[in-house]
Amino acid sequence: MTETTRRLFEGADWDFHTLQRIHDACEAVATKQLGLDVYPNQIEVITAEQMLDAYSSVGMPLFYKHWSFGKHFAFHEASYRKGLMGLAYEIVINSSPCISYLMEENTATMQTLVIAHAAFGHNHFFKNNYLFKQWTDADGILDYLDFAKNYVAQCEERYGRAEVERTLDAAHALMSHGIDRYPGKKKLDLRAEEKRAGRRRQHEEEVFNDLWRTVPTGPRKSRTVLSIERRRKLLGLPQENLLYFLEKSAPRLAPWQRELLRVVRHIAQYFYPQSQTKVMNEGTATYVHYRIMNALHQQGRISDGNFLEFLHSHTSVVFQPEFDDPRFSGFNPYALGFAMMQDIERIVTNPEAEDREWFPDIAGKGDVMGVLRDVWANYRDESFIGQFLSPKLMRHLRMFHLHDDPEERAGIRVDAIHDERGFRRVRRELARQHDVGFIDANIEVVDVDLSGDRRLILHHHVIKGAQLNETDAKRVLQHLADLWTYDVSLIEVDANDKVLREYVVSPRPIPAAA
């Protein structure tokens, strides 16, 4: 076939026809050889400045205005100018169509790599992984962001910039605790969300707020004090989604403030799957680009020289420094993900006795892509590592587990290493390190003192003695109290319900403008 043997490009230059050819060639490999299932692609070529722009607004093409994004932009720009930081080759957005941003200064080889990586690797993962299916609405996200942007602008016009900023600051501080971690509610439909926003606002103005039912109305209430059980049930407690709780139950928020909390909450929720699948997502994309680039090279559509250029970039992306290397800063998700994907390929096609024992389900099954597609669809980092990290890879990366107990005088203990006794423990510990539920502080609203001063009571369940950073905790609680408008207390308790520390914060008076 002359078509497939013709080179996609020569040298480093590219134009839009080249991009089209590259995309088509990648698509042929992705769909026919790898059996990927992707959203339609939209490829956008951008400049370095636009890339910095995208960085500062968490990679999204449109976002509401807030000073913190300006701060991040200034910070990124300063370090970029000084050459401290290189820019990513691409940014990809979980939307339908799936938008990939390509930097204009990439060479043709790099554009091929990036298209294979983002427009097919990430794209397939977004469309098929269960977390993304469950928690994000790829069709609606861009419209919803557009709605959010306009809504925030409208609020600023109507209620003043300072007021909106105050609410958003508070919401941002609580963003990491504005996520539903467990399914149960129906999947988000962001388009309907946007349409309903107006109606909901109206409705909520009239809605019955349970908190007010306990406001004394007469000289002596005949109503008995609510039992704790009933009160908790009415308020939906305990509740770990702080933003959700405030949106629904904070007594004195204006409807537009509730809507702003909702916007921030939805956006946090949208990014939640990405934080849980860093290793898998990058592993998938890296594995896919590696397969596609190799296939294109075999077909003769990429020259040897360009292929070497690709290998150079590829190896630096999947480079994993060792723990005592000055460049070490934790596991590189690209490296770990790619290594695990390749390892699964090896187990499926060419297993050893050890693999058959550890992975009886997939060892020697033969259908690499079938197994991988299934893995990509049904796991997140924690379960993926917990099940598919093989002894061989642990040996290869020479993993070991350190246990650092400040009470221990002797020092940091080596708890397990890459040996027969340690494999399972190392693997379990690494999986835990990638469990978002384990990384974020476990904070939930447990009660509201309805019969007293309406104090909001939160608990932080301290795990392994790691308490909250004091200055930050106070500031976040200040924001929380401002939204709640009554006192807020946060109690840090350990596993035995022993109180370790208590914070109490009162709301600041609202500035006169409000």
Partner 1 sequence: MAIHIIDRRLNPGGKSLENRQRFLRRAKSLVQGAVKKTSQERDIKDVLEGGEVTIPLDGMHEPRFRREGGTRDMVLPGNKKFIEGDYLQRQGQGSAKDSGPGEGDSEDAFRFVLSRDEFVDLFLDDLELPDLAKRKIAQTESEGVQRAGYTTSGSPANISVSRTVQLALARRIALRRPRKGEMEELEAEIAECTDEETRAGLVAKLEKLKAKSKRIPFIDPIDIRYRRFETVPKPVAQAVMFCLMDVSGSMSEHMKDLAKRFYMLLYVFLKRRYKHVEIVFIRHTDRAEEVDEQTFFYGPASGGTLVSSALQAMSDIVRERFNPADWNIYAAQASDGDNSYSDGELAGMLLTDKILPVCQFFAYLEVGESGGSAFDLSDSSLWTLYERLRNGGAPLSMRKVSERSEIFPVFHDLFQRRETQEKAAP
Structure tokens at 36: 């990927």
Decide if residue 319 touches partner 1 (CB under 8 A): no
Decide if residue 155 touches partner 1 (CB under 8 A): no
Q: At 447, phi and psi to the nearest 5?
A: -165, 160
CB 190 within 8 A of CB 140: yes
Q: Could you tell me which of 191, 37, 189, 61 has the C-alpha nearest to residue 127?
A: 37
Single residue of 8, 14, 53, 379 touching partner 1 by CB under 8 A: 53
- Cα-Cα-Cα-Cα torsion 214, 215, 217, 223, nearest 10 degrees, comes to 20
Structure tokens at 49: 């400045």
Decide if residue 312 touches partner 1 (CB under 8 A): no
Strands 41-46 vs 98-103: parallel, antiparallel or unpaired: parallel
∠ CA 438-441-444, rounded to 5°:
115
Decide if residue 44 touches partner 1 (CB under 8 A): yes
Choose the stretch contacting partner 1; rule: CB under 8 A; options: 218-226, 273-281, 341-349, 464-472: 464-472
Decide if residue 143 touches partner 1 (CB under 8 A): no
26 Cβ contact partners less than 8 Å away, ≥ 6 residues apart: 112, 115, 116, 119, 120, 292, 296
Q: How far is the CB of 75 from partner 1 (least distance, A)?
A: 6
Single residue of 40, 83, 184, 366 touching partner 1 by CB under 8 A: 40
Looking at the Cβ atoms of 305 and 465, the one nearer to partner 1 is 465
Q: By CB under 8 A, what part of segment 402-431 binds partner 1?
A: 402-407, 410-419, 421-422, 426, 429-430
Structure tokens at 95: 């939307």
Choose the stretch contacting partner 1; rule: CB under 8 A; options: 12-20, 129-137, 203-211, 275-283: 12-20
Q: By CB under 8 A, what part of segment 176-215 binds partner 1?
A: 176-177
Q: By CB under 8 A, what part of segment 433-462 binds partner 1?
A: 433, 440-441, 443, 460, 462
Looking at the Cβ atoms of 97 and 255, the one nearer to partner 1 is 97
Single residue of 225, 463, 495, 504 touching partner 1 by CB under 8 A: 463
Decide if residue 74 touches partner 1 (CB under 8 A): yes
Decide if residue 78 touches partner 1 (CB under 8 A): yes
Q: At 317, phi and psi to the nearest 5?
A: -70, -40
Decide if residue 286 touches partner 1 (CB under 8 A): no
Decide if residue 75 touches partner 1 (CB under 8 A): yes
CB 26 within 8 A of CB 112: yes
Q: How far is the CB of 233 from partner 1 (least distance, A)?
A: 26
Decide if residue 275 touches partner 1 (CB under 8 A): no
Q: By CB under 8 A, what part of segment 347-406 binds partner 1?
A: 397-406
Strands 456-461 vs 488-493: parallel, antiparallel or unpaired: parallel
Looking at the Cβ atoms of 335 and 362, the one nearer to partner 1 is 335
Decide if residue 57 touches partner 1 (CB under 8 A): yes
41 Cβ contact partners less than 8 Å away, ≥ 6 residues apart: 23, 97, 98, 100, 119, 123
Structure tokens at 291: 């397969």
Single residue of 35, 437, 465, 511 touching partner 1 by CB under 8 A: 465
CB 40 within 8 A of CB 97: yes
